[in-house]
Structure 1
Amino acid sequence: MSLKGIILIIDPVGACMLRSVLAAVLILFSAVSVAQTVTVYSYRQPFLVEPMLEMFTEETGIKTQVVFAQTGLEERLRREGRLSPADVVLTTDISRLATLVDMGLTQPVQSDVLSANIPSQYRAPDNHWFALTLRTRNVYSSMARIGAAELRYEDLATPAFKGKICMRSGKNAYNVALIASMIAHHGEAKTKQWLEGVKANLARKPQGNDRAQITAVAEGVCDYAIGNSYYYGKMLEDPKQAGWAEQVVINFPNQADRGAHINVSGAVMAKHAKNAAGGQALIEFLSGQKAQQVYAELNAEYPVHPEVAPSEMVASWGAFKADVLPVYQLSEHHAQAMKLLDEVRFDL
């Protein structure tokens, strides 16, 4: 009997078994490959994210693939639905974190590691989001004309600041969060009066980004400006912008009472994550001391991990008292803040 004949004789059973075994092996290899890759959707810039993802892969063996974007990730996730490849979303500001949750695009993560690394005020009570970095919402003053200033956010609405303030659009996420904190502390009616007062004290119509406000103070357009701390740090590190940043003083408001307002960046686990275990490992890694130090050094942000010190430059700005208001409460007042901005026609 020839070899060909033997093959033909066993084909009906043996070939089917072989095909089944091969299929099982392919499925196994595919599952292993998926389990070793975490897909990240990120609003955070590549220069900051990529070094930490490389460290994560080196430490865990889990690979990552990233989709970077400036806008539209929420709609993309909703459109993709169950077919979305996203495991983790990295984003900035509590409003974006809350939007992802409100759109039903997240799932909770139960993790003792995250509970230990991140103070409770900087994570969702239901574990649907976790802050990874902190930024203060500062008031900058002209070094030449004003010098250091002990002030409160509330002071910006008083007559002494008439024509002296610059800020970006009230509807920018950072300012909406600040207004939401004012509502949390003072109520809607008093916050509306405050917004009207701040608008009356603006040196120009709201425009530009946070860096543009610091530049405006340096150029004499205004004496005070509202902006996030890490933009100031990035300007100091940029030879093209350092000259402007060096002409302002960074002031931490409300040090005699509740403390300076805090913005956050953070992470969520995507609702339809295919690799939730790997995604959790990544978020835990980003909250750990090694990654937190990278955040501190590369982007002039304050680490959320209480045992990690800020960079030498950031530390040079001095210690400050932070508002202890739980960050999740800012999202609860987001809609009210937007409504008040419309009512006072803040940007017009």
Structure 2
Amino acid sequence: MNSSPSLFALVLATVTLTCAQAQERVLNLYSARHYQTDEALYSGFTRQTGIAIKRIEGKEDELLERIRNEAANSPADVLLTVDAARLAAAHELGLLAPVRSSLLEARIPAHLRTSDWFSFSLRARVIIYAKGAVKPGELRTYSDLADPRLKGKVCSRSGSHPYNLSLLASIIAHQGETKAEDWARGVAANFARPPKGGDTDQIRAVAAGECAVALANTYYLARLMRSDKPEDHKTMEKIVVVWPDQQGSGTHINVSGGGVLKTAPHKDAAVKFLEYLASDEAQRYFADGNNEWPVVAGVKVVNPALEALGKFKADTLPVGSLAMYRAKAQIIFDRAGYR
């Protein structure tokens, strides 16, 4: 006996719905965040939604290149990474899809999101100096790092690193290219040694007297403050932290964030994941687990290191502006000899 058209349609609809529901139970995440504490984020999302996360981790450039090579066949649903410049690179490569979510728009401040990527945590780029090496009050702004009084006293990581590129991009946005290049040349002229290492290396170099002044992201400082190693506590005892530009535009901040890939096979799950990252639970994981500040106002966190660092005025420059001037920042650093 032949099946009726209505029965066939019902079976087809059931199979289609079942496939769609099965598809929703998986999220493929490409992540350049290499923090063990993020495991709580992923397990929390799965616990709340029943959606399993399959994760591939790698360096930012490697992940971007992988997504480009995979093209329409990429299994990636979400790219999660650090630094506005890297998120901007994904946008410029045309890898991200616009996302409309009333929840994300309500919870994440406008200056911390774009049309296709969102910030989920903050870190500030502060000045540190060795106790006794600089007079109190001499370092109040980023501009002070270019003062000739600091000749031979400044340590830095590479000018090509995204953390420094984003800082210079913010200076370009606020002051223009000419002043930004003057600043880069001034800082380069004050180097105690050629740029090398990461932020933790700069902190240790200042504490050891290899140089007097450096820049560092706050979560590196918080890590040392929360460390169980006595030598890390001794390092922190030897330095002073300065929140730059508190009387001006505020201290430069950078972000961790993410976006949905254009070719994402599980777009609904991807948006749900981004919305979860803006939840109070996930925001607390960012703060308590990796010493970053939440982007959502009013989220209560318990992190003794962040509390010890204190409150500060943050620059509210839109993250899109950091992206806009990223390439120009690299050109200026290169011309200035800030390698």
Query: Normalising to structure 2: TM-score of the pair?
Result: 0.92
* Number of aligned positions between the proteins: 332
Is it true that 1:92 corresponds to 2:85 in the alignment? Answer: no
Structure 1 counterpart SS, 2:309: coil
Distance 1:198 1:47, change over 3 A: same
Distance 1:238 1:189, change over 3 A: same
Residue in structure 2 matched with residue 282 of structure 1 by the alignment: 273
Is it true that 1:208 corresponds to 2:200 in the alignment? Answer: no
Paired residue type of 2:249: R
CA contact (8 A) 2:129 2:239 kept: yes
Is it true that 1:175 corresponds to 2:164 in the alignment? Answer: yes
Q: Kindly provide the CA deviation profile for residues 143-188 of structure 1, in whole angstroms up to 9, marking residues without a partner as x.
A: 3434765510011111121111111001100000001111111111
Distance 1:155 1:46, change over 3 A: closer
Residue in structure 1 matched with residue 107 of structure 2 by the alignment: 117
Work out the CA distance in 2 between the residues paired with 1:100 and 1:88.
11
Is it true that 1:130 corresponds to 2:118 in the alignment? Answer: yes
CA contact (8 A) 1:148 1:250 kept: no
In the TM superposition, residue 232 of structure 1 has moved relative to its aligned partner by 0.8
In the TM superposition, residue 243 of structure 1 has moved relative to its aligned partner by 2.6
Is it true that 1:324 corresponds to 2:316 in the alignment? Answer: yes
In the TM superposition, residue 189 of structure 1 has moved relative to its aligned partner by 1.1
Work out the CA distance in 2 between the residues paired with 1:22 and 1:28.
10
CA contact (8 A) 2:223 2:291 kept: yes
In the TM superposition, residue 22 of structure 1 has moved relative to its aligned partner by 8.8
Work out the CA distance in 2 between the residues paired with 1:344 and 1:198.
9
5 Å matches for 1:247-326?
Answer: 247-310=238-301, 311-326=303-318
Unaligned segments of structure 1, at least 5 residues: 1-9
Residue in structure 2 matched with residue 101 of structure 1 by the alignment: 91
Residue in structure 1 matched with residue 133 of structure 2 by the alignment: 145
CA contact (8 A) 1:286 1:292 kept: yes
In the TM superposition, residue 210 of structure 1 has moved relative to its aligned partner by 0.2
Work out the CA distance in 2 between the residues paired with 1:89 and 1:309.
27
Paired residue type of 1:213: Q
Q: Kindly provide the CA deviation profile for residues 219-238 of structure 1, in whole angstroms up to 9, marking residues without a partner as x.
A: 00111110100011112223
Paired residue type of 1:129: W
Structure 2 counterpart SS, 1:53: helix
CA contact (8 A) 1:164 1:201 kept: yes
Paired residue type of 2:133: R
In the TM superposition, residue 346 of structure 1 has moved relative to its aligned partner by 1.4
Q: Kindly provide the CA deviation profile for residues 229-282 of structure 1, in whole angstroms up to 9, marking residues without a partner as x.
A: 001111222334333233212211011111100111101001111111111111
CA contact (8 A) 1:236 1:246 kept: no
CA contact (8 A) 2:226 2:305 kept: no
Work out the CA distance in 1 between the residues paired with 2:337 and 2:98.
38
Q: Kindly provide the CA deviation profile for residues 179-206 of structure 1, in whole angstroms up to 9, marking residues without a partner as x.
A: 1111111111111111111011111110
Structure 2 residue corresponding to 1:334, chosen from 314, 326, 333: 326
- Root-mean-square deviation (CA), in Å? 2.2
Report the more deviating stretch, 31-40 or 177-186: 31-40
Work out the CA distance in 2 between the residues paired with 1:22 and 1:107.
33
Work out the CA distance in 1 between the residues paired with 2:29 and 2:304.
30
Is it true that 1:157 corresponds to 2:149 in the alignment? Answer: no
CA contact (8 A) 1:141 1:148 kept: no
Work out the CA distance in 2 between the residues paired with 1:34 and 1:235.
42
CA contact (8 A) 2:225 2:305 kept: no
Residue in structure 2 matched with residue 7 of structure 1 by the alignment: none
Is it true that 1:195 corresponds to 2:187 in the alignment? Answer: no
Query: Normalising to structure 1: TM-score of the pair?
Result: 0.90
In the TM superposition, residue 26 of structure 1 has moved relative to its aligned partner by 6.4
Structure 1 counterpart SS, 2:160: coil
CA contact (8 A) 1:203 1:221 kept: yes
In the TM superposition, residue 64 of structure 1 has moved relative to its aligned partner by 1.3
Report the more deviating stretch, 237-246 or 320-329: 237-246
